[in-house]
């Protein structure tokens, strides 16, 4: 989990405009991991020093790369992948959008491992304008009654059935996902979470800005999806 301190650093850099021409640390393992925490931002001229056993994954708008120790080099020295991470991720997400036209208002199964699918127990969810969203549950063995109750927006509550075999449920268009919109979610009559929506820039603004925005808005699980794809 990214600490509040690191999130504050990312937010500050985004506000000052200094996030341009930088790289984002995706994962860091080994003896030097504490020097390169996940979510931190490095300038292209920053010197990276890795010792044996270190593995550092970084990404920017041009792609991602994995560095291993021993190594001493500038953050911007390595060449990114020839295929744009941004283009690949955007194509995958748009091709896997949940079907919004399901009959009876009960969305069909949506794909897993999608940055716009939110764990049903999450307290914060990020969305970009024009993108569909969905809820994701870990156990889809049986039908479950779902209640989504608006807490801060003028909208009618939703009550429907989450069908067995469907790990994901598309977020209904009737419930706004404006920044700060908050909803109480129940499964089979039991409280699950109070979910707050946050808006982020679209993917076409750049994978580095997108990743930083997810972290800054508290959407760590969604950042993990982006990071896992970018470094596969």
Specify the pTM: 0.59
Please say whether the beta carbons of 229 and 45 come within 8 A. no
Which residues, in sequence order, are CB contacts of 19 under 8 Å at separation 6+? Answer: 10, 13, 41, 208, 209, 212
Whether the upstream peptide bond of residue 113 has omega within 30° of 0, thus cis, is no
Q: What is the pLDDT of residue 222?
A: 85
Q: What is the pLDDT of residue 83?
A: 39
Domains, in order of start, for the chain: 4-82 (no CATH), 88-199 (2.60.40.10)
Collapsing DSSP states into helix, strand and coil, what is residue 86? helix
Collapsing DSSP states into helix, strand and coil, what is residue 6? helix
Residue pLDDT tens, the chain, 232 long:
444 434 333 333 333 333 445 677 877 889 999 888 876 778 778 888 999 999 988 876 566 778 888 988 888 775 454 334 444 554 554 454 444 333 334 344 433 457 888 999 999 999 988 888 899 998 999 999 999 999 988 889 999 999 999 999 999 999 999 999 999 999 999 999 999 999 998 765 667 678 778 888 989 888 877 766 554 4
């Amino acid at each position: 989990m990214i600490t509040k301190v690191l999130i504050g650093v990312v937010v500050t850099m985004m506000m000052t405009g200094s996030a341009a021409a930088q790289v984002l640390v995706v994962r860091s393992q080994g003896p030097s991991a504490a020097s390169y925490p996940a979510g931190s931002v490095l300038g292209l001229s920053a010197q990276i020093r890795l010792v044996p056993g270190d593995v550092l994954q970084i990404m920017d708008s041009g792609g991602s790369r994995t560095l291993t120790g021993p190594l001493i080099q500038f953050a911007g020295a390595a060449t990114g992948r020839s295929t744009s991470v941004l283009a690949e991720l955007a194509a995958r997400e748009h091709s896997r959008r949940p079907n919004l036209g399901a009959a009876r208002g009960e969305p069909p199964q949506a794909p897993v491992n999608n940055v716009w699918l939110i764990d049903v127990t999450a307290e914060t969810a990020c969305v970009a304008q024009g993108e569909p969203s969905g809820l994701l549950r870990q156990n889809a063995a049986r039908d479950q009654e779902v209640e989504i109750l608006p807490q801060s927006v003028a909208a009618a509550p939703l009550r429907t059935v989450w069908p067995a075999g469907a790990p994901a449920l598309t977020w209904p268009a009737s419930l706004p996902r404006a920044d700060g919109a908050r909803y109480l979610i129940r499964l089979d009559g039991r409280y699950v979470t109070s979910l707050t929506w946050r808006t982020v820039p679209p993917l076409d603004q750049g994978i580095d800005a997108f990743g930083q925005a997810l972290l800054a808005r508290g959407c760590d699980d969604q950042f993990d999806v982006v990071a896992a794809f970018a470094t596969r």
